Amino acid sequence: MNIKSMTLPELEQVVRDLGQPAFRGKQIAQWLHRGACSYAQMSNLPTALRHSLEAQYPFTPPEVIRRQASAKDGTIKYLWRLADGNCVETVLMRYHYGNTVCISSQVGCRMGCAFCASTLGGLVRRLEPYEMLDQVLFTQIDAGLPISHIVLMGIGEPLDNFDNVMRFLELVNSPIGLNISMRHISLSTCGLVPGIRQLAQRNLQLTLSVSLHAPDNETRSRLMPVNKAYPVEVLLEACRDYFAKTNRRISFEYAMIQGVNDTQEAAKLLRKRLRGLPAHVNLIPLNHVEESPLKPSSWKAVVQFQNMLESGGIPVTVRRTLGGDIDASCGQLRRNYTRQRQA
Ligand code: SAH
């Protein structure tokens, strides 16, 4: 395992195995979680220990290969090159409640959603816990802004990388490191029901976001192949159980697509399906992806949809689109970079 993926007790074991006192483990953790780029920087460690660590647990920071800052809203998008040459992206968004990073959990994705750029090249591999942590650390360092909130809404399906994501959460939540509270973290899933059930067992205080995008199986299966395995009723049942276990209100993502899922009938059905489930609906006007024929809904359709849900007492927000001028959505930067290189 990469040393940056290790928890404090694991680091203490590493130093003990090297004949050193346990407090060295804490020192190493502090350096790593502050974004140290080499053992040479760890000036309070004995030189011999630094050399042994270098030999046994080498690590490299990710490298920024693209940085795009929105002139409009301060959003910054990063494309990182990982140690093995793969690329992932991270977005920093400035909200009134704090600086938020949207991180990737996989290189590519195998979920195949029809509207999403991240899945076009399939899944390359899952990210290691430290590769998710590095996105937070190095965005914070590069931008010079403290990060208080994290959303797992970048490239990849977090519940398709369950164990690594759980370990990442433990790392960012650690008081020795970034100490980001679970209540400031959102995890978004396309609806992998076994993963939702497994997550419920952990009883974390994070916010679960479920990408619903359609209230009926016909439309949802067309947009999201995962629906064939876990249809809407099964998904919403898992969401009800999730709430019963964690007492955390669920947030449903709904990308508004012209003529596909934005009708008044769809809104009525959604209202019916969410009855009695403490939920919040996030309407997102679709971001256009070049390879896809799908188009965003008109503002009028979005507002009518919102009104219909609100008439049923469902809280709705229409998400502001940030970083529209910098490819800042869902795998588009990585996609464009890869295409340019191929050309
Ligand atoms: N795999 C996870 C998280 C990554 S995607 C998931 O599916 O939830 C983060 C959110 O962006 C999801 O709600 C996803 O459906 C949505 N999304 C993907 N492509 C989009 C697009 N072109 N326009 C609007 N939302 C999109």
Which among 157, 330, 332, 334 is the best mutation to test ligand 1's pocket, defined by most ligand atoms within 8 Å of the CB? 330
β-strands 76-81, 63-69 pairing: antiparallel
| Mean pLDDT, each 10-residue run in order, the chain (343 residues) | 97 98 98 97 98 97 94 93 96 95 98 95 97 98 97 97 98 97 98 98 98 98 98 98 98 97 98 96 92 92 97 92 62 73 68
Q: Which two tokens stand for residue 32?
A: 């790593």
- How far does the centroid of ligand 1 lie from the alpha carbon of residue 115, in Å? 8
pLDDT on residue 334: 78
Ligand 1 binding pocket (C-beta < 6 A) is: 113, 115-116, 153, 157, 188-190, 211, 253, 255, 284, 286-287, 289, 329-330
- How far does the centroid of ligand 1 lie from the alpha carbon of residue 14, in Å? 39
List pLDDT tens digits, range 159-187. 999 999 999 999 999 999 999 999 999 99
CA pair distance 178, 33, nearest whole angstrom: 7
Q: Is the pTM of this model over 0.75?
A: yes
pLDDT on residue 279: 95
Which domains does the chain show, CATH number per domain? 3-56 (1.10.150.530), 63-342 (3.20.20.70)
pLDDT on residue 71: 87
